[in-house]
Amino acid sequence: MTVTSAVVAGEILMTCQVLIVGGGSAGLAAAVGASRSGAATTLVEREEFLGGMATGAMVGTVCGLHLRSEQHCRAVSEGFPRAFGDRLARLSGTEPMVWKEGLRFLPYLPASFADLCSALVEEEGINLLCGASIAGCAVDGDTIRSVSLADSAATRLSADTIVDCTGNAVVTALSGGRVIAPERRQASAIVFTMSGIKVMDPHVLRMMILRDVKRAARNGNGDAACERLSMVPGSCRDDCASFKLGLPIDCDDLDRVGRERVDRVVGFLTSGVAAFDQATLTSIAPLVGVRSGNRPWGRDRLTTEQVLGAMKCDDGVARGAWPVEFWDDRPGPQMTYFAADDYYEIPAGALRSSDFVNLYFAGKSFAASDDAIASARVIGTCLATGYAAGRMAACASIGRPQEEAVRGLRSELATVEEAG
């Protein structure tokens, strides 16, 4: 596989078959899918590291890899997400845990997630450009011909097909395609880690924090920011734990407000909650965690009814198993469940642009309703949609019919039980 580079009329022109924009969970999976399908693949990421929210926002648990079940721990599908999860668990020294209502998740170390992304880029022969932000697109009718970089307008990347994994429909918007803003935006959050905590039972610790936050509020010396504090499940290790702090939905400087609020909350915990009297702040996530963004128009659209009805379809290329989890200004998420031990399928057309013939998308931004995305945005499902979009984009770039990619993806998804 080769990615070529040439100087044409003063411009550097890099050419590949599949270009992936955004190196979060979805983009990494898309790059693996495209490269494994035999396409020369380039992955462009704005930050200096891979993983997006999973590493930069220190999310800490992979949801959506398993069916919801009180009885057993069963992968939602075979294929790339499962293999990624197994490898991540080994690297992090963790295993899947069960939470309320039979929900299962995999705790992980953000550094291990980043290492795994880098290892896969190396192993799969993916051409990686980190610290490079896409800022423009050249369009010819219904085809995106090339993209340009923010700090180097003279560098253009041209590809047969493009997969937009920016989490915000950036490529679609820059190309003049149709994007929809969420009707109901979700609250962002910032994650931080503390060490030197004296109580390591997560249930006891949670109760202590809740009790002291309520007591302070009753005594008139509380801080409303503390009411939106929750623990990252599975993060209690040695004397450390990670916490998620909800931020206001209407805020135009999330980074500044997030950091200010972490300072206030850490101050409250160390002075007001006994388990924290010797504790210190060890890290704040480099990126604020942004849950919702713009979404592109697709040839099909995943609806709320399809998610809640656990819909199956002939062109389903990825599976989702997480409930609709919506974070607004309240302290915890609003959960809407579909049947346990079941999953829904995401149709190929929801990952394919209706405006441009050579554009695909995946992750937390594809053609879906607000509630459907509130389920499909979890990392396990982002890995699944990313891998599927990468395979489909590669298939198109080497001139094979879309049905071939869909058939191949569907057979990869079949669980061992179904295959037997």
Q: Which residues bind ligand FAD (CB under 6 A)?
A: 21-27, 44-47, 52-54, 57, 59, 61-64, 133-134, 165-167, 170, 189, 244, 289-291, 363-364, 377-380, 382
* DSSP helix/strand/coil, 239: coil
* Cβ–Cβ under 8 Å, residues 145 and 158: yes
Give whole-number Cα distances, 217 to 135, 213, 268, 272, in Å: 46, 6, 12, 12
We find the least distance from the C-beta atom of residue 115 to ligand FAD, in angstroms, to be: 16
243/338 with CB nearer ligand FAD: 243
- For the bound state, the minimum distance from the C-beta of residue 111 to ligand FAD, rounded and expressed in Å, comes to 16
- Distance in Å, CB of 257 to ligand FAD, minimum: 14
CB atoms within 10 A of CB 98: 16
Strands 334-336, 344-347: parallel, antiparallel or unpaired by DSSP? unpaired
Contact predicate 330/336, CB 8 Å: no
Q: Nearest CA to 51 among 108, 99, 123?
A: 108
- CB of 49 vs ligand FAD, minimal distance in Å: 8
| DSSP designation for 276 | G
Is the CB of 212 or the CB of 372 nearer to ligand FAD?
372
Q: How far is the CB of 237 from ligand FAD (least distance, A)?
A: 16
Q: Residue type for 258, please?
A: G
23 or 272, CB closer to ligand FAD?
23
Q: How far is the CB of 400 from ligand FAD (least distance, A)?
A: 26
Beta-bridge mates of residue 244: 191, 230
Q: Which is nearer to ligand FAD, 137 or 212 (CB)?
A: 137
- CB of 389 vs ligand FAD, minimal distance in Å: 11
CA distance 28 to 116: 10
Give CA 112 to chain center in angstroms. Answer: 16
Burial readout 41-63 (b: 16 or more C-beta within 10 A, e: otherwise): bbbbbbbebbbbbbbbbbbbbbb
* Residue 188: CB minimum distance to ligand FAD, A: 6
Dihedral sign computed on CA atoms, order 14, 15, 16, 19: positive
CA distances from 4 to 123, 256, 397 (A): 19, 41, 16
Q: Three-state SS for 361?
A: strand
Which residues, in sequence order, are bridge partners of residue 63?
105
Q: Which is closer to ligand FAD, CB of 22 or CB of 320? A: 22
H-helix segments, 43-94? 53-56, 80-92
Task: Closer to ligand FAD by CB, 162 or 199: give it.
Answer: 162
Which residue number, 160 or 164, has a Cβ lying nearer to ligand FAD?
164
In the complex, least distance from residue 380 CB atom to ligand FAD, rounded to whole angstroms: 6
Closer CB to ligand FAD, 192 or 276, in the complex: 192
| Residue with smaller CB distance to ligand FAD, 269 or 321 | 321
- For residue 285, how far is the Cα from the chain centroid? 15
User: Which is nearer to ligand FAD, 29 or 308 (by Cβ)?
Assistant: 29
| Nearest by Cα to 388 from 357, 420, 342, 345 | 345
Nearest approach in angstroms of CB 277 to ligand FAD is 27
234 and 107 in contact (C-beta within 8 Å)? Answer: yes
